[in-house]
Structure 1
């Protein structure tokens, strides 16, 4: 060690930072390894990377339960997750989205709001409370696994928070994969034109990657339209989390022990700032693409870490009623968008 390095490490703040880095490194490293393995398998076996990262994480869940990797796994599942969601903002450009026209934008936003409202309304009939309803309906309505993790980050935590999040991520990813295959077939059966098919695919399929895959399997025009519609749903992440945070804050302040969540989480503020900067062309395209790729990797690492923190038996114990709820929410948004397309086009 050089004299300059030794002098630097003698500073208390640097010592604390160095010790924290040493503590977190093993867990972050294994999370990165699991995520990279999932990405490799995804590219070679045409399977969603998010789902593979989750399943591989669950397979090595002992790494999140004991040993030197525990702190880093927890950090990846929480802090890297929030950073990844924040960087999602660079995918949003209001100027580009405005090109779709007001009716289709209103239909897409209406689908998001209606699906969340529907989920909150019917959850009680499936034996679930508002937390699980908001988590599942929000992930179905907005952007799948990414939305599930963002909403899960603001929900008051209890003993079943992790298993509900794991179940939701797994459920929306599987359903999104099924939709990626089935919905283009349905679009052809209904004789949709390229714009109608793009609106249907972008307005109903949960995850961005599956939307892109389904859209471009029909045509380039359908793929472009589907991607734009999907980005409208992604842009709804910030307002939904903001409104949910305000309502949860009011609920917790009245009904709990007075321990309030933040008014607006920092990662949501960062999402809004990045979306605004990108909308006005402040962020260069090359940088925006780099940050978007970083977001995908951070979310993949985070979901691998969430898997390592989970217990598969507990996740599966969520039950058939939970499966029915997330399926009916998926069918609801599909029916809503189909109805809108028939009325507007």
Structure 2
């Protein structure tokens, strides 16, 4: 799919972007363009990869004109750029709106104008029944991406929705490991809290699969494992070998949930089981070829997909941390 193709990655200097590039370059694309705002991270990434296939473009997805120029002769777009931290989006909703909603609209319009083949939008479990502004902006982004398939263009638009990915910037794993080492203290907002987790390499592998299989208009959901945050902290404390590390409950932050969901009750009505790794939410608006394409797949037999279900054991958490390179 990607061989000899020109690919643009918005927000490509982040953790998702770096792993995406790591797995994308062996597929022999013609060119991969990293489109982001920070010149320092672009320079660092350029030195890290030292690949002639990589090029870098300073720009903001809020700037439609600059984005349209960057998309010239591009075949595929991975749209990763977003403001992602829940507290920041709660405190500065105007900025989250401009990046996560208007920026996504700009990506859609730039892709259509340049006849891009496919746009893959990376979403989050927080877009399902959103309780915070970040989730609301990503939910609107999903709706825009679905709707874009009705704009009479040659471009296909698809969403991939996942949960927390271990090792990304600001990951709770990095936070806990730092707190254990420096303070012998782990802050947990609520001892009951659960989350979906997946390693970054696994997330990108699944992302490629959805990119290849999608036809436009659907939302692919990664069926990610779940864990209690307190169990994750205990595994990291045990692995550190340090004695007398304590845990303190600090209280839920604004907009935070005890449990996340990847699929809501409402969405379950139009969701099919694609395979053991993916569910697919079909659009509620009429995109005939999508429903026909997935007509042979069974509908889900459950009404929601919550992080409080199918909790990993501590041994399973340890295994995923080893695979993610956090523990030896």
The structure whose Rg is larger is 1
Question: Quick one: higher RCO (CA 8 Å, sep 6+), 1 or 2?
Answer: 1
Higher helix share: 1
Which structure dedicates a bigger proportion of its chain to strand? Answer: 2
Q: TM-score, structure 2 length as denominator? A: 0.31
